[in-house]
């Protein structure tokens, strides 16, 4: 393949991976939130993680709720943004910091380095070249650093992402399944469906060829998975949500329960399907009717979020809390 073809393919992928703003969004370009617009409760501190094996630093923002007591160890939720997003816009769109301030947990927002991807996309699909693995390692190193520097409970760590961030989250979970108690994929692609730019584009259109997830070591289980997918997503084919949940379930020998439909007020309805193995929840598929490629229940003033959907941020944290409780029991 010529260099021109490679560059053209990369450009097509990053353009395709860029989240499309919904009609309710005020701007068609990502919004960079000014410092004055950040949540004032608690502390949102800019930090830089220096990771091994990389020529550039991986920066991140960390939200710590106010009033952390001596000896207190808090849960950690890692949030991976989508393409053409920065961490401040992602935090503002999801309003996860507000939940963290109320429920008392730390939120880590790693940010993709433009030297790695000019469109700020995580290179989840570049498994053949090894770039995906390098980023997985860098992200885990970032989590390691945060856990060393702050009072984090290592038994209560969860990971969530949107679009390319969702795909990277699933890849990270396969790399170190024992680290996380819960994973949330919002509008992403399951691991193994793409290994290059061309296969990523195919997978996004719903034409990816699913292969069984890699076997785990004896006694190791995948963390519980929450998949949130919009039925009107024209960027990541809705079938990808089902594929992700089914691959997770197949690895754990889980079977689906009858789907149930829930709706709150005038928000989009959602069909929920649980996959269980011997009574243990392995995965939940949340198929939201009418949602496009946007954060469900996100703030209206931000691009790439849809306030008409059920609150994905609340769903993700509630899902994580249940998994934390199950492990503690």
pLDDT in tens, 129-171: 999 999 999 999 999 999 999 999 999 999 999 999 999 999 9
Does the domain at 3-328 match CATH 3.40.800.10? Answer given as no
Q: pLDDT: is 47 or 319 the higher one?
A: 319
Q: Tell me, what's the pLDDT at 152? A: 97
pLDDT in tens, 190-239: 998 989 889 898 889 988 888 888 888 888 999 999 999 999 999 999 99
Tell me how far apart the alpha carbons of residues 276 and 249 are, in angstroms, rounded to a whole number: 8
For residue range 279-313, list pLDDT tens digits in order.
Answer: 999 999 999 999 999 999 999 988 889 999 999 99
Q: What is the mean pLDDT of residues 77-104?
A: 95
Question: What is the model's pLDDT at position 29?
Answer: 32
Mean of all residue pLDDT scores within the chain: 85
pLDDT for the residue numbered 143: 95
Percent pLDDT > 90 in the chain is 67
Q: Tell me the percentage of the chain whose pLDDT exceeds 70.
A: 82
Residue ranges of the domains in the chain? 3-328
pLDDT at 216: 84
Dihedral of the alpha carbons of 224, 172, 249, 291, in degrees to the nearest 10: 80
pLDDT at 115: 85
Collect all residues with Cβ–Cβ distance below 8 Å to 50 and sequence separation of at least 6: 57
Instruction: State the pTM of this model.
Output: 0.86
Long-range contact pairs involving 201-207 (C-beta distance under 8 Å, separation at least 24)? 201/9, 201/12, 201/13, 201/16, 203/125, 203/240, 204/16, 204/17, 204/235, 204/236, 204/237, 204/240, 205/237, 206/237, 206/238, 206/239, 206/240
């Amino acid at each position: 393949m010529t260099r021109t073809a490679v560059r053209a393919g990369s450009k097509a992928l990053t353009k395709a991976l860029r989240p499309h703003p919904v009609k309710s969004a005020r701007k068609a370009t990502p919004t960079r939130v000014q410092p004055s617009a950040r949540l004032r409760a608690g502390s949102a501190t800019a930090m830089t993680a220096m990771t091994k094996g990389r020529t550039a630093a991986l920066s991140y923002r960390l939200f710590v709720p106010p009033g952390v007591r001596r000896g207190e160890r808090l849960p950690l939720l890692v949030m991976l943004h989508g393409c053409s997003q920065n961490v401040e816009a992602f935090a503002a769109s999801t309003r996860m910091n507000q939940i963290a301030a109320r429920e008392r947990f730390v939120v880590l927002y790693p940010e993709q380095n433009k030297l790695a991807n000019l469109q700020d996309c995580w290179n989840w699909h570049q498994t053949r070249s090894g770039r995906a693995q390098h980023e997985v390692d860098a992200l885990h190193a970032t989590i390691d650093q945060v856990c060393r520097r702050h009072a984090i409970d290592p038994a209560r760590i969860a990971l969530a992402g949107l679009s390319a961030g969702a795909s990277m989250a699933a890849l990270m979970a396969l790399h170190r399944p024992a680290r996380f108690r819960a994973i949330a994929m919002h509008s992403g692609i399951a691991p193994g469906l793409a290994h290059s730019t061309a296969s990523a584009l195919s997978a996004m259109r719903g034409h990816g060829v699913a292969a069984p997830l890699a076997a785990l070591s004896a006694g190791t289980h995948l963390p519980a998975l929450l998949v949130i997918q919009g039925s009107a997503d024209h960027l990541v084919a809705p079938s990808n949500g089902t594929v992700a949940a089914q691959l997770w379930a197949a690895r754990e020998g889980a079977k689906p329960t009858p789907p149930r439909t829930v709706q709150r007020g005038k928000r989009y309805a959602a069909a929920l399907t649980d996959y269980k193995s011997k009574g243990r929840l392995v995965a939940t598929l949340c198929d939201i009717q009418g949602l496009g490629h946007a954060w469900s229940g996100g703030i209206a003033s931000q691009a790439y979020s849809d306030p008409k959907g059920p609150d994905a941020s609340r769903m993700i944290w509630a899902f994580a809390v249940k998994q934390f409780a199950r492990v503690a029991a």
